[in-house]
């Protein structure tokens, strides 16, 4: 578990840092990420997922230290490019924390070279796209994906609004659904959240899954 946490931290900010007294009194997880996703379609099949991960303000403040190269008080895409590269290279080891499935079968995903970071309103957002190694027909039963960290170091939570979108090319009548992920791993992760945060958990589930429902042709 310790190795996973160290590797995850390095993947997210490119440095090993100590949170000190701020986190000594805090429960896990240590990094909170709000996610949004768009399903990509070609020829009536799901071919990939574009994701946006918005990091919490504490993580952001540490990650951007020293990156304002021109001292203008803002962080351009160019200034954040190296950090974005380190992030993507790091999360590749963990399959981008993206668990895509067709029924019980896990689907392999690969990343496209079109990632970037932006900084707005005190938070960093990582934008990237993963491609399914084998496209899945939109009307196929049982396609879903989740974004979560099984080591419980990072809490991924889908946004409360506009969490999931369908890209152009989605067959008419397709709908995306967000629900709680089932299975032993999901139950253990959410039980751990309740145990660590107690009343502060606020009913949050860290293991949501996205599925789609498309009419058969």
Of 22-26, 92-96, 147-151, 202-206, the range with the lowest mean pLDDT is 22-26
Q: What is the pLDDT of residue 42?
A: 96
pLDDT band at 1 (very low <50, low <70, confident <90, very high): very low
* DSSP 3-state percent helix, strand, coil across the chain (nearest 5): 25, 35, 40
Q: Model-level pTM greater than 0.95?
A: no
At 201, is the secondary structure helix, strand, or coil? helix
Q: How many helices (H) and strands (E) does the chain have?
A: 5, 12
Rounded to an integer, the average pLDDT of 83-108 is: 94
Rounded to an integer, the average pLDDT of 3-16 is: 43
β-pair type (154-158, 31-42): parallel
**Mean pLDDT, the chain, as a whole number?**
81
pLDDT in tens, 20-74: 333 333 446 678 999 999 999 999 999 999 999 999 999 999 999 999 999 999 9
């Amino acid at each position: 578990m310790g190795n996973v946490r160290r590797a995850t931290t390095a993947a997210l900010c490119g440095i090993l840092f100590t949170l000190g007294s701020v986190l000594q009194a805090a429960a896990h997880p240590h990094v909170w990420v709000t996610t949004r996703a768009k399903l990509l379609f070609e020829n009536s099949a799901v071919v990939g997922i574009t994701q946006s991960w918005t990091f919490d303000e504490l993580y952001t403040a540490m990650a951007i230290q020293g990156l304002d190269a021109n001292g203008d008080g803002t962080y351009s895409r160019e200034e954040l490019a190296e950090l974005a590269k380190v992030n993507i290279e790091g999360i590749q080891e963990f399959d981008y924390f993206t668990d895509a499935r067709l029924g019980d079968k896990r689907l392999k995903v690969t990343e496209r070279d079109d990632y970037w970071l932006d900084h707005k309103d005190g938070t960093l957002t990582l934008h990237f796209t993963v491609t399914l190694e084998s496209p899945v027909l939109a009307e196929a039963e049982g396609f879903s994906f989740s974004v979560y960290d099984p080591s419980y170091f990072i809490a991924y939570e889908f946004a409360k609004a506009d969490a999931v979108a369908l890209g152009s090319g989605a067959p008419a009548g397709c709908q995306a659904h967000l629900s709680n992920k089932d299975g032993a791993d999901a139950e253990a992760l959410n039980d751990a959240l309740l145990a660590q945060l107690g009343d502060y958990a606020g009913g949050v589930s860290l293991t949501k899954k996205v599925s789609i429902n498309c009419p058969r042709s």
